[in-house]
Amino acid sequence: MHIAAQKNYQMPNGRCRMHGGKSPGRPIESGFFTKEALADRKRMAEMNRAIREMLNESDDA
């Protein structure tokens, strides 16, 4: 089951516009797509790229 913050905000009665359930309110910035997590993954990708380049250079020598 996919549980995520909804993009449609609640109706005046506090219910979700899409399925009538209790609305979680404003989407929460946590988990996989926080600015910190995105920055960490970008840094890791840059480090992996640099390591691959160093390994390729050592193979050529």
In degrees, rounded to 5, the angle at the alpha carbon of residue 38 between the alpha carbons of residues 24 and 2 is 35
Query: What per-residue confidence (pLDDT) applies to 60?
Result: 77
Q: How many domains does the chain have?
A: 2
- pLDDT for the residue numbered 27: 62
- Same structural domain, 44 and 21: no
Which residues are paired to 22 by β-bridges? 15
Same structural domain for residues 4 and 15? yes
Do 36 and 26 fall into the same domain? Answer: no
Give the pLDDT of residue 4: 53
Q: Which tens digit of pLDDT belongs to each residue from 12-50?
A: 777 776 666 665 556 666 788 888 999 999 999 999 999
Residues 38, 14 share a domain: no
**47 shares a domain with 26:** no
What the block records as the tokens of 11 is 């109706």
Q: Where are the beta strands (DSSP E) in the chain?
A: none
Residue bearing the bigger pLDDT, 10 or 3:
10
Q: Are residues 45 and 22 in the same domain?
A: no
User: How high is the pLDDT of residue 58?
Assistant: 85
Residue-range definition of the domain harbouring residue 14: 1-30
- Answer yes or no: do 58 and 35 share one domain: yes
